[in-house]
C-alpha cells in the first residue's frame, strides 16, 4: 500500500515537473521573441530622465577607476557627462548620467539587453561592428602612432624603414598593416600585449612601438623617458555606440557632439586629459572651427 | 538552429581547442599529481613538506588567478599564448586535486602489501610502481573521474585569456549574433557531449566496484 | 619590493578590501542558498521515489556537468533576453547557488546512502514519523560524514566567485585587475596580494573543517 502511494506520488510529481519545464520553455521562447522587438533608446531616456553609459575601468586617460572613489574617470567619462547635459538641453529636460563598468566582451551584450543605453568605452568604429550597433560620428581621432625613446632622434615611421630597425607591435592589432604599408623594410616583432611590448622596447629589442595613439599616451604616463611621435597613421577613430537602429538617439548625440565641439567644451576636455602627455601636440587632437 | 549553422565552424574549432586543452592537462596533471602524491607520502620531512605546500597552495587559490599569473607575469619572461598559459595553469591546478585522490588511494592500500614486497627483495620504487600504485589508482578511479570532469569544465577559464576554446567562441557568437540565449545553450550542449558520458561512465564504474566488494 | 609598496597605497588597498567584502558576501549567500536547495534535491534523489527521483537526478546531472562560467554568463547575459534582468551581484548569487546546489546534492545523497538502513527501521519502531526520522536521526549523521567533501566544495565555491569578474562583478579579482591597470609594474604585486587573500580565506575554512571533523567524529 505504502509502495503504491509512493509510486503514485512519484508519477504525479514527475508529470508536474515536466509540465512546469515545458510551460517555462514556451514562456521563455515567447518572451525572447517579444524582447527582440525594437525598443527605442531615446524614448527610454526621455522616460527615465537618465542615460546609463557603459564605461571602461582599466584604460588610462579614457576610463580608469579611481580607487579612492570607486568611479571611472577619464576622457570617455567626462565626454559622456557633457553629452548627457547637452542632450538634456536639446530635449528641454534635465538628464542625469549614470555609469556602468563594462569590459570588452560585455559592452555589446549589455547594450543589447538594455542594461545600458550607450557605450563610451574606447570603441573603434568598424564595418563589422556597425552591423550590430549604431555609431555616432567619431569622437576621438584614434590611429597608430610611434612610441620611441626621447633621445633616439626618431621623428616618423620613415626613419625606421630600414632592415636594421625593429618595430614592436602587439598581436592582433591594426598596427601590423600600418607597418607593412609605411615601413616595409623594417623587421617586426609581435608581442602578447602592450605591457610586454613596452618591456621589449626598454630592453632594446626594438626601436619603437607602433599601436593606437590612445594606448601609447597611457604608456607614456608611466614611462617619462619616452614620447609619442609620427602623427596619426591608419585613422581608426572611436565612436559612441547605441543599440542597432536608433536613429533618434544617434541624431541627438551627433547634434550634441557638434555643439560641444563648437562651444569649446570638447577642446577643454582634450586638454584636460591629454595636455599632460609627454611629447604630444594636443592641437593634433583638438578640433578647429 | 540557424545560429548553429551560421557559426558552426567557430563552435567546432572551439570544441577542438577545449578538447585539446583538456587532453594535455589530463596527461600532465595525472603525471604531476602522482608525483606530488608520492612526495607528500615521503618519509623525508623536506619532501613531504614540499608536496603538502604545493597541494595546499593550488587547492586554495582560484584557477583564474593562477591563469592570469601565467598569462600576464610568466609570459613576460617565457613567451606563450593565452592557450598555452591557460593549459599550463589548468594542469598545475588540477594536479593538486589529483595528488589528493592518488594519495588517498595509496593510503587505502594495506601497509602489509608494501612490507611484503620489500621483504621479497623489491626496492621501494619498484614496490610502489608494480604493487601499490596500480591498486591505488583502482581505488581512486571514482574521485579521479570527478577530477577529470571538473578539468573539462574548468577549461572554460581559457576564455579569460583569449584561449580560443568553446567558451571563448561562445562569447564571440553571443556578442555578434544578438541571440545570447541560443548561443550559450549550444555551448552548453557541446560541454555536455564531453562531460555527461564521463559522468555516467563513472557512475557505472562506481556501482560495479561497489558490487564487487 | 618598491612596486609592492607603490601598488598597495591606502586608496588601492581600501578599494581591494571592499572587493574582498563583496567576495565574502557572494560566497556566504550562495553557500546558504545552495546548501538548503542541495539538501532538498539530495533527499529527493536518495528517497528513490519512482520516476521523480531519476528525473530530478538527470536534470541535476546536466547542471552539474556544465561549466560554472557558462552558467554565470547565461544568467547575466541571456536571461535578460527573456525579461529576467538581475543586477550583477544577484545574478552571480543565483548562478552560483544553482550550480553549487547541484554539486552539493550529489555529496548529500552519497552521505545519506552511507547511513545504515537499520537506523530507519529503528527510529520508526520508536514511533517517529518519516520526516522526524530524517530530520533528527539521519540528516545529522549524514552531515557529519559529509563534512570533508562539503568543506572542499565550499572552498571551491569561494574560489569560483572569482569567475564573476568576467561579468564585471566588482569582487576582489575584478578590483585587482583595475588596480594593475594603473601601472603594468603592479601586475605581479597585485596577483601575489590576491593569491594571499584567497589562500588565507580558504585555508581558514579548511582548518575549520578539520576542527569540526575531529570534534564530531
Flag whether pLDDT at A1 surpasses 60: no
C-alpha cell at C66: 556544465
Over residues B164-188, the pLDDT tens digits come to 899 999 988 887 777 888 899 999 9
Interface residue C49 vs chain A (CB under 8 A): yes
* Chain A residue at shortest CA distance from B181: A32
Interface residue C155 vs chain B (CB under 8 A): yes
- The per-residue pLDDT for A124 is 87
Interface residue C179 vs chain A (CB under 8 A): yes
Nearest to C181 among A64, A68, A114 (CB): A64
> Which carries the bigger pLDDT value, residue A67 or residue A37?
A67
pLDDT per residue of chain C (217 residues) written in tens, 0 to 9: 688 888 889 999 999 999 999 999 999 999 999 999 999 999 999 988 889 999 999 999 999 999 999 999 999 999 988 888 899 999 999 999 999 999 999 999 988 888 877 887 888 788 888 788 888 888 888 888 888 888 889 999 999 999 999 999 999 999 999 998 888 788 899 999 999 999 999 988 888 878 877 777 6
Nearest to B188 among C70, C81, C195 (CB): C70
Flag whether pLDDT at A125 surpasses 50: yes
Integer Cα distance of A264 and A286 in angstroms: 10
Flag whether pLDDT at A289 surpasses 80: no
> Mean pLDDT throughout A171-177?
74
Q: Name the 3-class secondary structure at B62.
A: coil
Contact B157, B86 (CB under 8 A): yes
Residues in chain B, pLDDT under 70? 1, 210-213
Integer Cα distance of C169 and C29 in angstroms: 15
- Looking at chain A, the domain(s) classified CATH 3.40.190.10 span 41-141+237-279, 144-233
- The per-residue pLDDT for B213 is 47
- The per-residue pLDDT for B211 is 60
Helix (H) or strand (E) holding B114: helix B111-119
Integer Cα distance of C159 and A187 in angstroms: 44
Neighbours of B (≥3 Cβ pairs closer than 8 A)? A, C
Q: Which CATH superfamily is domain C2-216 in?
A: MetI-like (1.10.3720.10)
User: Which residues are registered as beta bridge partners of A134?
Assistant: A242
Helices (H), chain C: 2-7, 10-47, 52-64, 68-73, 88-113, 118-125, 130-132, 139-160, 172-180, 187-216
DSSP string, B127-186: IIIIIIHHHHHHHHHHHHHHHHHHHHHHGGGGGGGT--SHHHHHHHHHHHHS-HHHHHHH
Q: B2-212: which CATH topology?
A: MetI-like fold (1.10.3720)
Burial-class residue B176 by CB neighbours within 10 Å (0-12, 13-18, 19+). Answer: middle
Does C206 contact B60 at a Cβ distance shorter than 8 Å?
A: yes
Does B180 contact A109 at a Cβ distance shorter than 8 Å?
A: yes
Architecture of domain A144-233: 3-Layer(aba) Sandwich (3.40)
Architecture of domain A41-141+237-279: 3-Layer(aba) Sandwich (3.40)
Measured in angstroms, the CA of C8 and the nearest CA of chain A are apart by 11
Show me where the domains of chain B are located. Answer: 2-212
Integer Cα distance of A139 and A240 in angstroms: 7
Q: What is the number of alpha carbons within 13 Å of residue B140 lying toward its C-beta?
A: 26
Contact C40, C135 (CB under 8 A): no
Q: Name the 3-class secondary structure at A59.
A: strand
Interface residue A32 vs chain B (CB under 8 A): yes
Residues of B in contact with A36 (CB under 8 A): 178
Nearest to B174 among C77, C195, C202 (CB): C77
Sign of CA pseudo-dihedral B79, B83, B87, B93? positive
- The per-residue pLDDT for A108 is 85
Amino acid at each position: 500500500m505504502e509502495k503504491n502511494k509512493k509510486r503514485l506520488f512519484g508519477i504525479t510529481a514527475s508529470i508536474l515537473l515536466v509540465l512546469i519545464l515545458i510551460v517555462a520553455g514556451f514562456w521563455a521562447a515567447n518572451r525572447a521573441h517579444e524582447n527582440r522587438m525594437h525598443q527605442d533608446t531615446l524614448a527610454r531616456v526621455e522616460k527615465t530622465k537618465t542615460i546609463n553609459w557603459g564605461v571602461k575601468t582599466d584604460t588610462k586617460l579614457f576610463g580608469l577607476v579611481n580607487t579612492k572613489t570607486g568611479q571611472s574617470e577619464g576622457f570617455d567619462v567626462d565626454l559622456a557627462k557633457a553629452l548627457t547635459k547637452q542632450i538634456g538641453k536639446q530635449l528641454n529636460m534635465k538628464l542625469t548620467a549614470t555609469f556602468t563598468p563594462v569590459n570588452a566582451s560585455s559592452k555589446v551584450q549589455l547594450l543589447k539587453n538594455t542594461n545600458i543605453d550607450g557605450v563610451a568605452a574606447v570603441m573603434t568604429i568598424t564595418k563589422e561592428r556597425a552591423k550590430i550597433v549604431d555609431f555616432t560620428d567619431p569622437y576621438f581621432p584614434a590611429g597608430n602612432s610611434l612610441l620611441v625613446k626621447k633621445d633616439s632622434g626618431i621623428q616618423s615611421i620613415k626613419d625606421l624603414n630600414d632592415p636594421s630597425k625593429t618595430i614592436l607591435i602587439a598581436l592582433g592589432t591594426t598596427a601590423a598593416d600600418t607597418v607593412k604599408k609605411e615601413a616595409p623594410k623594417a623587421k617586426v616583432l609581435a608581442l602578447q600585449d602592450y605591457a610586454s611590448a613596452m618591456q621589449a622596447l626598454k630592453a632594446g629589442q626594438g626601436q619603437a612601438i607602433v599601436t593606437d595613439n590612445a594606448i601609447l599616451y597611457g604608456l607614456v604616463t608611466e614611462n617619462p623617458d619616452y614620447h609619442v611621435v609620427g602623427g596619426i597613421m591608419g585613422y581608426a577613430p572611436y565612436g559612441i555606440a547605441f543599440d542597432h537602429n536608433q536613429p533618434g538617439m544617434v541624431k541627438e548625440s551627433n547634434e550634441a557632439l557638434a555643439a560641444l565641439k563648437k562651444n569649446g567644451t570638447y577642446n577643454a576636455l582634450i586638454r584636460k586629459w591629454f595636455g599632460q602627455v609627454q611629447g604630444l601636440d594636443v592641437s593634433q587632437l583638438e578640433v578647429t572651427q | 538552429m540557424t545560429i548553429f549553422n551560421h557559426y558552426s565552424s567557430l563552435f567546432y574549432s572551439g570544441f577542438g581547442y577545449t578538447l585539446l586543452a583538456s587532453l594535455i592537462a589530463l596527461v600532465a596533471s595525472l603525471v604531476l599529481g602522482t608525483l606530488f602524491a608520492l612526495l607528500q607520502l615521503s618519509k623525508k620531512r623536506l619532501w613531504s613538506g614540499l608536496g603538502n605546500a604545493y597541494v595546499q597552495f593550488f587547492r586554495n587559490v582560484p584557477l583564474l588567478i593562477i591563469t592570469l599569473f601565467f598569462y600576464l607575469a610568466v609570459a613576460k619572461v617565457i613567451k606563450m599564448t593565452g592557450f598555452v598559459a591557460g593549459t599550463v595553469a589548468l594542469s598545475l591546478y588540477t594536479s593538486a586535486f589529483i595528488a589528493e585522490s592518488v594519495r588517498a588511494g595509496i593510503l587505502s592500500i594495506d601497509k602489509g602489501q608494501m612490507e611484503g614486497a620489500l621483504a621479497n627483495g623489491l626496492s621501494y620504487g619498484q614496490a610502489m610502481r608494480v604493487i601499490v600504485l596500480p591498486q591505488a589508482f583502482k581505488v581512486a578511479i571514482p574521485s579521479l573521474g570527478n577530477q577529470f570532469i571538473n578539468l573539462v569544465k574548468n577549461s572554460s577559464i581559457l576564455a579569460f585569456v583569449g584561449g580560443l576554446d568553446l567558451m571563448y567562441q561562445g562569447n564571440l557568437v553571443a556578442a555578434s549574433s544578438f541571440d545570447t540565449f541560443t548561443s550559450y545553450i549550444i555551448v552548453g550542449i557541446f560541454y555536455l557531449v564531453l562531460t555527461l558520458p564521463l559522468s555516467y561512465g563513472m557512475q557505472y564504474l562506481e556501482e560495479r566496484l561497489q558490487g564487487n566488494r | 619590493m618598491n612596486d609592492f609598496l607603490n601598488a598597495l597605497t591606502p586608496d588601492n588597498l581600501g578599494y581591494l578590501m571592499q572587493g574582498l567584502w563583496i567576495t565574502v558576501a557572494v560566497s556566504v549567500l550562495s553557500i546558504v542558498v545552495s546548501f538548503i536547495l542541495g539538501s532538498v534535491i539530495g533527499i529527493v534523489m536518495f528517497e528513490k521515489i519512482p520516476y521523480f527521483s531519476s528525473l530530478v537526478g538527470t536534470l541535476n546531472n546536466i547542471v552539474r556537468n556544465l561549466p560554472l562560467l557558462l552558467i554565470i554568463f547565461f544568467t547575466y547575459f541571456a536571461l535578460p533576453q527573456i525579461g529576467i534582468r538581475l543586477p550583477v551581484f544577484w545574478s552571480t548569487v543565483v548562478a552560483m547557488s544553482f550550480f553549487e546546489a547541484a554539486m552539493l546534492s550529489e555529496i548529500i545523497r552519497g552521505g545519506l546512502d552511507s547511513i545504515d538502513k537499520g537506523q530507519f527501521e529503528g527510529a520508526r519502531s520508536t514511533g517517529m514519523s518519516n520526516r522526524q526520522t530524517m530530520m533528527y536521526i539521519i540528516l545529522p549523521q549524514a552531515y557529519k560524514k559529509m563534512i570533508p567533501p562539503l568543506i572542499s566544495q565550499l572552498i571551491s565555491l569561494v574560489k569560483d566567485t572569482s569567475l564573476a569578474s568576467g561579468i564585471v562583478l566588482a569582487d576582489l579579482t575584478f578590483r585587482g585587475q583595475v588596480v594593475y591597470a594603473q601601472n603594468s609594474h603592479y601586475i605581479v604585486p597585485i596577483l601575489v596580494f590576491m593569491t594571499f587573500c584567497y589562500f588565507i580565506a580558504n585555508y581558514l575554512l579548511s582548518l575549520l573543517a578539520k576542527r569540526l571533523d575531529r570534534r564530531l567524529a
